[in-house]
Amino acid sequence: MTRNFLIVAGSIVLLATLAGGASKHVRRAKSSSGVPLYTVTDDIEDDYNEAIDMVSTNYAGDIDYEKATQAAIQGMLSTLDPHSSYFPYNEFRKLKEDQDSRFYGIGVTINQHRDGVYIQSTVQDTPAARAGLRYGDRIVEVDGKDARSWDSQQVSKNVRGARGEAVKLKVERAGSESPLYFTIVRDAVALPTIRNAYMVRPGTGYVGLTGGFQRTSDDELRESLVKLKSEGMRQLILDLRGNPGGLLEQAIDVSSEFLPRGQVIVSVKGRTEYSDPVVYKSKGTDPEDVPLVVLINRNTASASEIVAGAIQDQGRGLIVGETSFGKGLVQRIFPLPGNTGLTLTTARYYTPYGRSLQRDYSSGSFYDYYVRHDAEVPEPSPSGSPKTPQPALSQASPPPHLPTGPAVKTAAGRVFYGGGGITPDIESKLPAGSLLRNRIIDEAFYFTRQLTAGAIPGLDSYRVDKVQYGRTPKATDYPITDQVLEAFRNYVKADANAGLTLAQVESELDFVKLRLREQIITAAYGADDGARVLLDSDPQVMRAIEALPDARRLAESVRNAASQG
């Protein structure tokens, strides 16, 4: 084990000197083709090997060489950029599962609340749904291990496993005096990247492509579009909010659903693999020509930014929301011995008109890069905002802070700036969250857990014994009546842990009604239908609907200019 560690760690030092530089006794290593790759000094290699030998010989405790090797690899990668990362065995397996849009588990979504982890919903046609797990079941044991103090990540890690292996769960269910025990055999669980596709308004389709860009994304999108057109769709909102990205080829295929054949989608420039820039163009032979608005936010990243950037640069539709994350670095996955692997940045993305998507990461910590990016900087509003609407075809004005990239003139003469993600045509932010609203969400869950278990007197009609998947909820299904609200008020008064007063409930009564209905519909019809309750009153979705006429005019203007040019 020690010898293997020294070999691996030594090779890490050779790579790390690329970032750190070398100044004496320089040797140049070469690839198998003879191309120089990096330099290394005798002093650095000798110092590192001597340090490892000192640790192995003199350290007072046991040494986990595998863990030390992993830390060395990740430490080297962290000197490069925020997106080059090492993946131990379990994480590398999960990465590959996510790319296949499936994993092996039982098929539940879980949420962490104040006293533990609860099942929010079961996925249709999965082991959990067939076994009878329900909304509101509290997970207290997994395979005999006490899970009451675990967080969601720990529960998820222990519930997942190899296909065909059983996992034993002990749960507490509202309305049941004794805990319930389940033995569930793990199986493949689909991870669709589109969880909601429906008519948000008559004639207006909504597609939520929020689960990354995996191997099935374009197929899912095409199926969703066919379904919506059969229901009378004449205009479309494509929601990419929170989409972390994924496979480049899927971003190209998704963009091709909307852009004419031959239009540039993205170019990729790199050091070796893309030393000659590669330009990817639309493959669409019969693209959708309905008016299009794309929703983005701060967590729209990578492949989803490619799609948004292509739509914006080519003038195919309007972008509504908040400036996206700004990830324009291309990672390639490299397997390593022992079924581990790493992602390494090998190139950069550029929009059709040459904007770099990547936000600067040269100053500040990686924490700032991921969590606090532009937290104190006003969002630019190049083509209008909800408060001060302007014509959608107007030229973009410079952002209020200094851009890191040059101004780029795109289709219809609009100007945007590179080096900081995709700036929306129309800025629209969600209302800021609050501690009070978080408490209301939490209490709505606990109340609904009792309500749908039939434990709230006088409201037996809200009892849910079995999820009805695939049924679009109607306004008359499980309405939030005065009786339900009064029961909620009484529940809040009796719950010493709620942290809510009746005055606070009254001050946020509309929000209370919204969240109660979301939770009840989730329990009755599943998580996707519960999400629709929120989408139907989502301010950014409403702003996107308002922007659709401008999106139509923009696309027509660009098409007319192309036909005349």
Angstrom distances, CA of residue 264 to CA of 19, 208, 281, 311: 34, 24, 4, 10
The answer to whether 552 and 392 are in contact (CB under 8 A) is no
Q: Which residues on neighbouring strands pair with residue 344, listed in sequence order?
A: 332
Q: Which two tokens stand for residue 39?
A: 């330099």
* Cα-Cα end-to-end distance for the chain: 68
The Cα 218–Cα 227 span in angstroms is 14
Q: In what order do the strands lie in the sheet with 235-239?
A: 194-201, 204-209, 235-239, 292-296, 318-321, 426-427
Would strands 204-209 and 235-239 be described as parallel, antiparallel, or unpaired?
Answer: parallel
- CA 378, chain centre distance (Å): 23
Q: Enumerate residues 6+ apart whose C-beta is below 8 A from 422.
A: 296, 300, 305, 308, 309, 312, 319, 323, 324, 357
User: Catalytic residues, which ones?
Assistant: 302, 313, 327
Angstrom distances, CA of residue 380 to CA of 328, 384, 559: 19, 9, 27
The Cα 420–Cα 75 span in angstroms is 26
How many alpha carbons lie under 13 Å from residue 304 in its C-beta half-sphere?
30
The Cα 388–Cα 319 span in angstroms is 16
Output Rg (C-alpha) for the chain, integer angstroms. 26
Q: Which two tokens stand for residue 61?
A: 């405790």
Is the C-alpha dihedral spanning 438, 439, 444, 450 positive or negative?
A: positive
The answer to whether 341 and 333 are in contact (CB under 8 A) is yes
Angstrom distances, CA of residue 317 to CA of 252, 256, 396, 561: 16, 13, 15, 15
**Which of 337, 339, 222, 354 is closest to 288 using CA atoms?**
222
Residues 504-528 as b or e (16 or more Cβ within 10 Å = b): bbeebeebbbbbbbbbbbbbbbbbb
- CA 19, chain centre distance (Å): 30
The answer to whether 307 and 254 are in contact (CB under 8 A) is yes
Residue with the two structure tokens 């969703």: 224
Q: Which two tokens stand for residue 456?
A: 């709230």
The Cα 467–Cα 554 span in angstroms is 43
- CA 439, chain centre distance (Å): 24
**Which of 252, 321, 227, 234 is closest to 552 using CA atoms?**
234
